[in-house]
Amino acid sequence: MNIFENDLDAFIAESDRLGGPNAQACQDYWKDFTYHPSQQPDQGLDPFSEEYVAQQVALYEELSGHAYDVVRDEITEFEIKDHVEGPNPYNEHDPATMSVHIDRLNFGIRNAAPKSGHTVLDMGCGWGLSSEFFAYLGLKVIAADINKRSIELVNARIAHKNIMDITTVNGTFENVILEKPVEMAFFYECLHHAIRPWVVFSNLKRNLVDDGKIVLAGEPINSFWWKNWGMRLDPISVYCIRKFGWFESGWSLPFLRKALLKAGCVSKVFYHPDPQVGINVVGQFGGYEISGSEVSQIMDNEGCSADEPYLIFGADSKLDLVIPIDCSIAYLHICNFRMSPLQVEITSGAGSIWSGYMQNGENVIPVPCNGEDPRLTIRSQTWSPAQDGMSQDDRTLGVHLAKIRFQ
């Protein structure tokens, strides 16, 4: 089914006639769905730039039929009484459906490994399922949401269920300010409503302790439509954007990790064997160190290959460094595993960074950043362990990046 801008209202009407997203007839109607956007964001642009943001917002406006207003478009109306008295905040009675939500939340908490008594800021708490789950685990919870009705519901269930360790705060992703920093911020199925998640991450730093964590669970991480990020164009996302006005974006995993790193948050990725549970990302502030193989997963590179825990440079490699906003220098820990020196040259747009013969062992190369993310060119003399009689490894290698440390 091919859908264009002029077909959107008819698409919504037919989907609703067939019973809406949960109805089998509607799901059958959505098979082989393809949306053909009139707006075509330029994926060659810097994905953090305001020009690229404006192009994705224009695509949102095409899909929704109106300009975006976070206060209007991210507010969901619902009957509070039913959710207060329900078995869970969603008032969902299907155990199988609820078990998926619990699996996602549990997976995120296990990987983040908070301690008893820690406080978690539940960003975009919605109806409060995640907040109640965190409190059940023995965590203190601050439930934050833009929707005053959601905060009213969470407070009503706190009173109804006599939950002692949840407090609430009304605000957007960008403007929540706590009285004192907490150990963790958790996003469950909500960050994709933020236009600029990198700004959200940066602002969160003021609400977290020095080694605080950001945890993402149940978020749309994919690169089906966009190399970096953009509006999701699957049928349920298009339906929700057009019908409810929600901002339904998604990001590739490298871009999401890059956005965290720019905020000063070094991340790890955890994959659950059940695709319904999906990918979990845990970022931590204050680390400022990334292994070479992780560099290959976050930063754009050419002529390189990953070999855990290293990134191997070839004869002529490129690396786009990502620098945390509060750092001014990066230290490249480069290893020469050949017994004799290798000739290496490292340059950026600003000129030469290092040139000469790199001795055997680990060499630390400082790279000044000057407020920008530099693109490095690394030219390395190559060698083969097999030809040097060191092993059976007949690969052609340059030098190895062990890690990058920021300061």
Residue-wise pLDDT tens digits, 127-171: 999 999 999 999 999 999 999 999 999 999 999 988 889 999 999
> What CATH class has 69-228+251-287?
alpha beta
Beta-bridge partner residues of 145 = 170
Which pLDDT score is estimated for 326? Answer: 86
Q: Are 272 and 281 a contacting pair, CB within 8 Å?
A: no
Mean pLDDT value across the chain:
95
Query: What integer pLDDT is reported at residue 73 of this predicted model?
Result: 81
Q: Which fold has domain 291-406?
A: Jelly Rolls (2.60.120)
CA distances from 59 to 3, 51, 111, 286 (A): 14, 13, 35, 36
Tokens representing 314? 């070839």
Q: Where in the chain is the domain with CATH 2.60.120.260?
A: 291-406
Are the C-beta atoms of residues 308 and 339 closer than 8 Å to each other? no
Write phi, then psi, for 348 (nearest 5 degrees).
Answer: -135, -175
DSSP 8-state secondary structure symbol assigned to residue 244? H
pLDDT at 370: 80
Q: Output the pLDDT for position 349.
A: 87
Q: What angle do CA 244, 195, 50 make, to 5 degrees?
A: 135
pLDDT of residue 363: 97
What is the pLDDT, as a whole number, of residue 76?
80
Retrieve residue 13's tokens. Answer: 């009407």
Q: Where are the beta strands (DSSP E) in 272-372?
A: 279-285, 289-291, 301-307, 310-320, 329-336, 342-348, 351-358, 361-368
pLDDT at position 371: 75
Please tell me the predicted confidence (pLDDT) of residue 389: 87
Helix axes 129-136, 148-161, angle to 10 degrees: 40
Cα dihedral 319/324/330/335 (nearest 10) = -60
Provide block-wise average pLDDT over 10 residues at a time, the chain (407 residues): 97 98 96 96 96 98 95 83 91 95 97 96 97 96 96 95 93 93 98 96 96 97 95 98 96 97 95 96 93 95 96 97 91 97 95 96 93 92 93 94 96
pLDDT tens profile 201-222: 999 999 999 999 999 999 999 9
Where does the chain hold its CATH 3.40.50.150 domain(s)? 69-228+251-287
DSSP-assigned states of every residue in 46-78: -TTSHHHHHHHHHHHHHHHSS---HHHHT----
